[in-house]
Amino acid sequence: GAKSSVQNKAGDTALMLAALKGHEVVVDRMLEAGAPVNRNGWSPLLYAAFEGHEGIVGKLLGRGANVDARAPNQSTALMLAARNGHRGVVEALVKAGADISLVNENGLTAAAWARENKNTDIAEYLESRAPAAARQRVEAKPDSGKRKMKVLIE
């Protein structure tokens, strides 16, 4: 069979590409063959969450994927799913123990990024489950730094 750790020029593995494209049968075969689910930088879970492939997210989590793994921009699977409006994936990640309070390199939590992209229902779902400190951080940064920029410009 194909080697599970071979990468393309961008550094993506076959499992990552199958997760990105939503090819569940390929993901199943790769997992059965022992393809690694965790890696530094972009990972199969991040790709599947970004695209909203709920079944694949569940399979990767079931195989031990790190629910709070970080992309190079410090985004998590929860942030990417929330940003892109994938409610089912968001709920699965929260149920799996995703840390709702984490922020990416732009200082956005998953809830803040969801709200910024007009995914209000997801933002409210996350905010209702966030610890009080995280809710305060979200409320303090509704404009994700635009106010700071305005002060600097003036």
Q: What is the pLDDT of residues 54-63, one digit of tens each?
A: 999 999 999 9
What value does the mean pLDDT take over residues 17-28? Answer: 96
Taken in order of first residue, the domains within the chain and their CATH numbers are: 14-153 (1.25.40.20)
Q: Give the whole-angstrom CA distance, residue 83 versus residue 78.
A: 8
Q: What is the pLDDT of residues 66-107, one digit of tens each?
A: 999 999 999 999 999 999 999 999 999 999 999 999 999 999
Q: Give yes or no for residue 110 having a pLDDT over 70.
A: yes
Angle at 14 between CA 52 and CA 98, to 5 degrees: 40
Work out the mean pLDDT of the chain and round it to a whole number.
86
If pLDDT is split at 50, 70 and 90, which confidence band does 5 have? low
